[in-house]
Structure 1
Amino acid sequence: MSENRPHVPFMDLAWQWRVIAEAARPDIERTFETSAFCLGPAVEAFERRFADYLGVAYVVGVNSGTSALHLAMIAAGIGPGDAVLLPAHTFVATAWAVLYVGARPVLCDVDEDSGLIDLADAERRCDPTVKAIMPVHLYGRAVDMDAVGAFAARRGLVVIEDAAQAQGAEWRGRRVGGHGYAGCFSFYPGKNLGAAGEAGAIATNDAEAAARMRSLRNHAQGARYVHDELGFNYRMEGLQGVVLGHKLRHLDDWNARRGRIAGLYDEMLAGLPLVRPGRVPGHVWHLYVVRTPERDALKAWLHERGIETGLHYPVPLHRQPCLAGLGHGADEFAVSVRWAEQCLSLPMHPGMADVQVQAVTEAVRGFYGRG
């Protein structure tokens, strides 16, 4: 990398800390002074505020987005002999949750333009064993939840939203996470709303489901040292509740900044032979993913010029070694394969300066000989 070329990080989590540090420090110190490290008042406060933000009745804080999906599966009554529809183009944790409860993932292809679950393909793959559908709001873009709801109602399916990448995203003015039986969020540090480590949450309007998931996350203790069923150590840490509570205050502003960065990318990359993500209302731009058959060459070109990029996700689920038992051919799910082979995530975070966006776009244009 030339010394006069700027380094553009894929994300900048230190920038987020600088925004909240002054306000958060007293609450972090209070957590240490009170030793409220596992669950506790900071987690409870965050659960209430995030529920209000989403427009749902209950939020249950847990230790990861994967745990959130797992508990939602259990609460929904999904188990051995059941099957769950989900997209082939997603992070593997979406499938893990199904497998954890002994159910079968039924992979579906995705839409060419959005990369979101193709309901027509889901319809073809739906059989009497299918009990639930798990739409994934990928890259910060909401799935058509009206269509999902109608499909689920027609087939008698439970809807569990994988909203790991979509904190604040909306479908027709309603935030995702509250459109189905449960909505599951990851607060992995790089998410739009990220913790200082691992954390997650489940949103629901079902009081019985919320109560059961609160029990399950804490070893299924109905009373101290009395365990009602098989439980888990899925508790959210108090420090994560503190950090998430302070970041939540900034989430809408940070998402708005992501949208402005996406607009700059759209403007500066126009006319190039790559596919840019479509713009739809309610998109919160967790990632800005372009597609090109020259993905690997473009990634290497940008790396040489000090620009970090990401791959989300280069191996579709049906090609994962751990899911070989599902019996799919490598070339099945043709659209998911194209997304996997052509996707490239450009730097995107709310602390990104316009000059950094310009550096990225100039480098991309240079790759195509249009600098």
Structure 2
Amino acid sequence: MEKLNESMAWLAKQDGSLIVGHGPFVESSEPPADGTSFYVQDFALQDAKPWKTPSTVERTTIREMTMRFQNAASISCGWLPLDAAPFSVVFQEVMSSIHSGIFEKTVPVVTETGMADQPAGFAIMAAMTRQPLPLHSYGWIDGDSGFSGATPELLFALDGTCLETMALAGTARSDDREVFAVDEKEIREHEYVAQTLVSKLLDLGNIDRSAREILDLGSIVHFLTHIRLDLQSPRTPDELIRKLHPTPALGPLPRTAETLSLLFEWRNRLGCPKQFGAPFGLLDEGKFDAIVAIRGIWWEKNQVLLPAGCGVIEASRLVNEWRELRLKREAVKRFMLPL
């Protein structure tokens, strides 16, 4: 893999394996009856043919990919100054909607733009594929453009009738872990997500919800709650995606046609890439794993886009959310540093 194929997709799984699909891909509205296929979709679930079945499949491991790319050259990227004014306007509109009773929570996204000193795709892929668990490397490449990241958030894993998902919400610097652990605003934001996920799954089977814990990702920490259940009857990946996406970690609460429409409008105004926060999945040997496409970089030749979202509730404050957005973007930039 010394250079990028015309098309490629990959996903790192929870067991430490990493599956790579090489194009050309066959696109379809339904998954194949057997074999391996990737689910590549936009946030609004508007791609009518999200299933991308590769011509060939490469099975490897996160460890092997780390060794393969340990000497990969890094890129230098100049980042443009980010104007807070557009986000400030959207933030005020969000708060107005919350005070009007339209939302309890939603997640606007800010995107930082940069220009690399060379076509960025290979260096980004190399950096993301060598990130260790609990981060899941993922990516989609189509010629000179694509996106890749290393996300901590699992949308769900489906193995037969066993379903696993998580609530991941609330963010702080690792240095602030002790204060974060008792921060009422961050706990409330997390509980919005966890309780809503549980309520969406109640009619599917018996739920096992873990205690809230802190996930330490080095430079930042999040609140994490694991949720597992045995489904009363089989469900398809498409059914579960439409039931769970977007979770309140990336979407509005409550999730209605009106609140989704407002969120789509705000994302578009702030220049958010359409796949940011979308489900990205892999059907392989009858098992389906879907992550949430966050903590990533989008590129087209030398131009790069780095989006990040923040959960806004009534207790949110503009300066704190702006700081959280920067914290998340800086965490992604650290992925690009050489080993």
User: How does the TM-score come out when normalised to structure 1?
Assistant: 0.25
Which structure has more relative contact order (CA 8 Å, sep 6+)? It is 2
Q: Which has the larger radius of gyration?
A: 1
Report the structure, 1 or 2, having the larger strand content.
Answer: 2
User: How does the TM-score come out when normalised to structure 2?
Assistant: 0.26
